[in-house]
Structure 1
Amino acid sequence: MRFSQFFNSWLNDGYYKKAVKIGKNGDFFTSVSVGSLFGVILSRYILSISSKFDGKISIVEIGANEGYLLADIIQGIFTFSPKSLSKFEFVMVEPHENLRLLQRANFKEFFGDEISLTHYKSLKDAKFKNAIFISNELFDSFACEVVDGEKMLYVGENLELFWDKIDPEIKDFAKKYEVKKGEIPLKLYEFFTNLSASASKFHFITFDYGDMGSRGDITLRIYDNHRVYNLLEEKDLSKFYKNSDITYDLNFEIFKSEFLKVKGVKFISFKKQSVALMDMGASEVLSVVSNSNNKNAYKNATLQLKRLIYEFGSRFKAIEFSKGV
């Protein structure tokens, strides 16, 4: 089978269906795992751009896993501008039932009945007047093909990897984006079309691994209990298949170009996560914590920001788009 089928089966027919945990007790860390500061900084930024919209705004997290990021954003909004909570509604787009159940349970624990959470299985089911879309490490889970010159990666019946003739359509796509060796993400344009159709006006923010343009290398890797494995070097994939995380670095040039094909969409910015978080108000958030005279809270927030800047800040990027605002 094509590698993209294998990749999709690994994650969506197996790994994600198990409602896996991330952080210390999972296979990998994300910026959200560091603590609540990531979401609190985002809440400050969301409040600053909310004035661009008239009427109710839907804050929509796509691929929320346990739901911690959106919960941290809500807590941040309440901290900085409690009266503003009423202008927002909170939404998650999640195709996996086990994850939806986990997200609802966590929200019930965090907020009781004070905050309502709306779920959609797909963006095709959603209709928003105004939306702020957020995601963290979402697009590295999109199925991809893997190319190396005139060859493309395939998977045999016993999960062995092998190279064979490249599909003409994939070859043309790789040539268009000057990818001689690396991953070719699939269905980005379809996803962006559905996202744009779901909202009259929107602002879109996502964080993920990657670079602007092809690295000329294959970045596929497996995360299992915080250890990293090179997919191409593993002789027995059966021990990882559907049980561990599989991912790759994004080519943001493909990401940007495919999104800008959608009518009305505008590119806003592309930055290292470290720069984006500072621009979104990280220093101001620390100042607020400092003024609270809670030394432990300030120390914790400072440590979190250092991790977000120095451990995640360079490899992760933030990219933003908008429509109608």
Structure 2
Amino acid sequence: MQIISKEKHIAKLSNLLKIFILKNTKYASTFPVSRNCIGLSRSIGYSQEPLFLTKYLKTKMKATGPITVADYMREVLTNPVTGYYMHRDVIGDKGDFITSPEVGQLFGEMVAVWLFSEWQKVGSPNPLQLVELGPGRGSLSEDLLRVTRNSIAASFVFAKFGAANIVSLHLVELSPHLSRLQAQRLCGDTTKENEPNSVENHYRSGTSLHGTPVFWHHRLQDVPRYFSCVVANEFFDALPVHKFQKTEAGWREILIDIDPNDENKFKYVISRGETLASRLFIKKTECRNHLEVSPESAVIIQHIVDRLEEDGGIALLADYGHNGTNTDTFRAFKRHQLWDLLVEPGTADLTADVDFSCLKDAAGDRVVTYGPVSQREFLINMGIAFRLEKLLKSCKPELKDRLVTGYHLMVDKEKMGDRFKFFALFPSVLKEHLKKFPVAGFHNA
């Protein structure tokens, strides 16, 4: 097998995945594969009439052969007609999962304090863009705006230069439904949607209840090029992954196909030979027997790094994941319970643990990275316990139990505390500066 350099590896990766970084249009297979596959043992069916997405996937498989897990995940989550995220509210008690910002205000406040603190350390450059990738229902962005506006230092800067000229919020969101929820939460009824053929780099805009300009974009590349504080909470776990398995014959890609014994069932299959993805994305030194790789995550990290290097900025990522140790993590959730991911595609959330070691590799030496550290460590380092104590002294009695319960859900080791990780990126030009002014929250990183 030909060994390629890291630079060529990244160049090929970017070219192969340019379909992702184009505006959400067609959902074609990135890596064509052959029907010449070996069946795995798992095969799942269901008795309901096939949904639209099931019919679409079956038609696609009949025409082109088995599809990659990445293709399956992309279609299930973001198909413009029936994709899981595209037309429904999937977060919260009535959805299929809950995120830390939805638990309570403490999470968002700690993230906001971190962003504002690091922004001040590098000289409070303006204008300041707050950029959130995959903002869900807008809870985190709401907290960011509230804390930023209430900060004494921020108030001084805003009073001197004018809030509209200093800070703006930019949300990168594909889902029409979620963008409407975000707009209502952040701006009330004041947002305006652009025409589909508009030349603007945003598709929706408005003014927050605090007076901050807010813009919605389909891609990170559409966000204006100024100093940016980029935040992504539980964003990378929803990006498509390729799955690979080591066999006696070498690495093979795990694919999804129609069960030949029952066309109402999907099943896993394994390629007989190498695929382009298995040749390109697996390191020669890989020692695990099962592997998940998200090339699209690497592409987005490179876009973030480009911005930090060329325009200045900082980035903070929060997600559940590992540092190159986990193997088979691809799974589905429905109504807050594990769900079989091959059943009724489009009705459950699909997710895979984030491999932070891959994100580090993709970032390269153009940035300085910190972490991953556990969510528990980050939040405690940022003073979440002191903030809780202060809130408990001033809040209404009926809110105390909710605050305490939310705190323990976020920081306890057996809950979200150890499972979730924080990861930060700074432009490499700040390397010496950061030695003098250590990054908050990553004390032991």
TM-score (norm 1): 0.88
Q: Does 1:221 align with 2:324?
A: no
The answer for the alignment partner of 1:147 in structure 2 is 244
Question: Which stretch of structure 1 is more off in the superposition, 80-89 or 217-226?
Answer: 80-89
Amino acid at match of 2:407: L
Question: 1:280: how far off?
Answer: 2.1
- In the alignment, does 2:70 pair up with 1:26? no
* 3-state DSSP of counterpart to 1:175: coil
Instruction: Give the superposition deviation at 1:306.
Output: 1.2
CA contact (8 A) 2:301 2:359 kept: no
2:318 alignment partner AA = F
Q: Secondary structure at the match of 1:312?
A: helix
Q: Which of 134, 137, 148 lines up with 1:77 in the alignment?
A: 148
2:368 aligned to which of 239, 263, 266:
266
Q: Deviations over 1:37-82 (max 9, x none)?
A: 1101111222211211322211111001211111022222334436
Distance 1:72 1:34, change over 3 A: same
C-alpha displacement at 1:140, in angstroms?
1.0
Offset at residue 98 of structure 1 (A): 2.7
Matches of 1:118 and 1:307 in 2, distance apart?
A: 32
Separation of aligned partners in 2, 1:16 and 1:90: 22
Relative to structure 1, is the Cα distance of residues 3 and 269 closer, same or farther in structure 2, using a 3 angstrom cutoff? closer
Q: Structure 2 CA distance, aligned partners of 1:71 and 1:221?
A: 30
Native 8 Å contact 1:94 1:100 kept in 2? yes
Deviation at 1:124, TM superposition (A): 1.5
Residue 104 and residue 20 in structure 1: after superposition, are their counterparts in 2 closer, same or farther (change >3 A)?
A: same
SS at match of 2:416: coil
Change (3 A) 1:122 1:168: closer
User: Distance between the aligned counterparts of 2:334 and 2:285, measured in 1?
Assistant: 31
Inter-partner Cα distance in structure 2 for 1:75 and 1:280: 18
- Asked whether the equivalents of residues 273 and 314 of structure 1 are also in contact (C-alpha less than 8 Å), the reply is yes
Q: In 1, Cα distance between the equivalents of 2:86 and 2:307?
A: 25
Contact 2:298 2:358 in 1 (8 A): no
Report deviation, 1:173.
Answer: 2.4
Shift of residue 204, structure 1, vs aligned partner: 0.8
Structure 2 counterpart of 1:62: 133
CA distance change for structure 1 residues 7 and 166 in 2, over 3 Å: closer, same or farther?
farther
Do the aligned partners of residues 181 and 6 (structure 1) sit closer, same or farther apart at CA in structure 2, a change above 3 Å counting?
same
Query: Is residue 426 of structure 2 the alignment partner of residue 322 of structure 1?
Result: yes
**Amino acid paired to 1:245:** D
Instruction: Say if 1:16 and 1:176 are closer, same or farther in 2 by CA, change over 3 A.
Output: farther
Aligned equivalents of 1:177 and 1:69: distance in 2? 39
Give the aligned partner of residue 218 of structure 2: 121
- In the superposition, relative to structure 1, how do residues 246 and 61 fare at CA in structure 2: closer, same or farther (>3 Å)? same
Question: What SS does the aligned partner of 1:266 have?
Answer: strand
Asked which structure has the greater RCO (Cα within 8 Å, sep 6+), the reply is 1
- Report the Cα distance in structure 2 between the residues aligned to 1:187 and 1:299, rounded to whole angstroms: 40
Write out per-residue CA displacement over residues 251-285 of structure 1, whole angstroms, 9 at most, x where no aligned residue. Answer: 21112111226xx2111232000001112231342
Higher mean C-alpha deviation, range 110-119 or range 197-206? 110-119
Q: Secondary structure at the match of 1:38?
A: helix
Question: What percent of counterpart residues are identical?
Answer: 20
* Residue aligning to 1:304: 406
**Secondary structure at 2:84 match in 1:** helix
Cα drift, residue 115 of structure 1: 3.2
**Is contact 2:173–2:179 with CA below 8 Å preserved after alignment?**
yes
Q: Structure 2: state its 5+ residue gaps.
A: 1-66, 190-207, 431-445
Shift of 1:172: 4.7
Bigger CA drift: 49-58 or 282-291?
282-291
What residue in structure 1 maps to residue 181 of structure 2? 102
- Indicate whether 1:167 and 2:246 are aligned: no
Q: How far apart are residue 166 of structure 1 and its match? A: 3.5
What is the CA–CA distance in structure 1 between the aligned matches of 2:274 and 2:329, rounded to whole Å? Answer: 19
Residue 2 of structure 1 corresponds to: 68
Counterpart code for 2:169: F
Q: CA deviation at 1:303?
A: 2.7
Q: Which residue number corresponds to residue 355 of structure 2?
A: 251
Aligned partner of 2:315 in structure 1 is 204
Q: Structure 2: how far apart are the matches of 1:194 and 1:4?
A: 20
Which range moved further: 171-180 or 265-274? 171-180
Give me the whole-angstrom Cα distance separating, in 2, the residues matched to 1:299 and 1:227: 24
- Structure 1, unpaired ranges of 5+: 232-236
1:234 corresponds to: none
**CA distance in structure 2 between the aligned counterparts of 1:78 and 1:21, rounded to whole angstroms:** 29
After superposition, give the CA deviation of every residue in 1:95-118 in whole Å (9 maximum; x if it has no partner). 233322221122123954733211
TM-score, normalised via structure 2 length:
0.66
